Structure 1
Amino acid sequence: MPPTPRIKHCRACGTPVDYRVPVDDNRERAVCPACHEVHYQNPCNVVGTVPHWEDKVLLCRRNIEPQRGLWTLPAGFMELGETTAEGALRETIEEAGAAIEMLPLYTVLNVVRAGQVHLFYRAALQHLTFDPGPETIEVALFSEADLPWHELAFRTVRVTLEHYFADRRSGHFGMHHGDIT
């Protein structure tokens, strides 16, 4: 696992921080010697959807790094002030311009080395009119047989799609969780 980037200055007052175990804690944290602010570093949530229509899923070809030009599910970083479902809906609208009905949470995947948790919801497409945003080159619907497996941007997308198509074949959609190592 790559080292966690270290905080150098207090976000509250700008003083260089010290690393030590605060009182009533059990691990080293960045602590400001001037204002005593304790700075925690926590994983980021990535939220998205698996938009589907009949036997197909909607993918977006990325127009940004990382993985520009590769295919992904519509997803991105959750913003403050929104729920995971609200963030997943927002990302789907921003990246694909797709109208969806949100369905249950589908996969929760820990990406420890990147300090992220990826949460994907199933989503039913309401129609086939799309208006992709600037982060997306194009959108397309793919059946399992036509899916560009070797051109997927992220392992969490691959794992989520593998679960989706296996569940679709079985006729039962469950909740999936796991770790990407």
Structure 2
Amino acid sequence: MRTTKGRTVASGNGTNGGGTLLLGTTKGAFLARPRDGGGEGDGGWELDGPHFPGEEVYAMAYDDRAGRSRLWAAPHSPFWGTTLRFSDDFGANWSGKAERSVRFPEDSGLSLKRVWQIQPGSAREPDVIRLGVEPACLFISHDAGEEWEAVEGLLNHPHRE
């Protein structure tokens, strides 16, 4: 659970009801915000979405490091495949499909099927983001998601498959 700009955001299993929950589903992504503004009462939830309607979203994350307020999502479309998208305005606008592309090296013969995990680095690594993907591999960005590279030790590990 993180608080920024008056909003508390949880990705993963945040359940304290005090903030925005990032919900990835097989029918798109949703942002759930408490109706009572995060207070103690049970005013229910207000859903924002679907974002990426009709696309599966298995991974979402929030990054508030280095002055950012960025949502990440990895929607999967049967037509376009899996893309990595971001929003700097809590989902009002999302980056385009071609931006922030994650690709296996051409000589690997692999193509991205799904992003299962998006994990911003620690406060000590403000521009690092890691992605767990299918086929089994780890990608890392050292520049806040501008460029991505496969972690070679995992990509070329003999037991990866």
TM-score (norm 2): 0.29
Task: Compare CA radii of gyration and give the structure with the larger one.
Answer: 1
TM-score (norm 1): 0.27
Structure with higher RCO (Cα < 8 A, 6+ apart): 1
